[in-house]
Amino acid sequence: MSRFEGKVALVTGASRGIGRSIALRLAAEGADVVVNYRSHPDEAEAGVAEIVALGRRALAWQADVADRDAVAALVAGAVARFGRLDIAVANAGFSVREPVLTARWENVRQVVEVNQAGVFHTCQFAVQQMAAQPLTGRSRGKILVISSILAEIAPPGNSAYNMAKAAVNHFAETLAAEMTAYRINVNILNPGWIDTPGERHYATEQELRAAGPRIPWGRLGHPDDIAAAAAFLLSDEADYITGATLRVDGGMVLGLRLP
């Protein structure tokens, strides 16, 4: 399958986890990929090597998405290297889990700057580039915001992250409405509980193994589950879909059985 042959994609937070899986899936289907990362440079370069091994071009680019100027340089660098930008996946995320009562403002601000402002920066600079490109085929470009089911449900102890994810979903819907005139699709993907390296900050391996059977589908999600859904929303098969939110959670929201 070569749904992205000749396309150039930018994926933020792509050195590991969901972002890495999306970057590799797009490359496997023909895209050249800019692998953005903030930390974990070795893993970013390893991802680039995997993409090159698939016969595609790739570039690792360090940028903190909370830094507006850095994101502007990231998008400009992608275009300078590959000549255009067809796909942007706003995936980079950050979380500090604290209850509202004792949350430290510096942590709240960082969570909001990465998860909310970072999405705004990524999407704005991407659509500015896409809108200036000629229409080729069905669309000038595809934007995908990787959000969370925590935009829909509000577990305690995660207030800043919950707030930021709810905000970016509403932002993405607004952007989708504005971009129809330019034929730029903007959609949202809400992952459930996904088995990523970041989960190890909050749970042990034993706790993660025990959590899977409590999810209605019987397991934690895998980054490849999210990548498969992302590839659909970013393809021409989803040409008539914009402003939509796709939940990929193994039934977790509808049949939550976690304590």
DSSP collapsed to 3 states, the chain? CCCCCCCEEEECCCCCHHHHHHHHHHHHCCCEEEEEECCCHHHHHHHHHHHHHCCCCEEEEECCCCCHHHHHHHHHHHHHHHCCCCEEEECCCCCCCCCHHHCCHHHHHHHHHHHHHHHHHHHHHHHHHHHCCCCECCECEEEEEECCHHHCCCCCCCHHHHHHHHHHHHHHHHHHHHHHHHCEEEEEEEECCECCHHHHHCCCHHHHHHHHHHCCCCCCECHHHHHHHHHHHCCHHHCCCCCCEEEECCCCCCCCCCC
Catalytic choice (37, 161, 202, 240) = 161
37 is catalytic: no
d(C-alpha 194, C-alpha 206), whole Å: 15
Structure tokens at 42: 């070795």
By C-alpha distance, which of 108, 72, 65 is closest to 90?
65
Provide the annotated active-site residues.
161
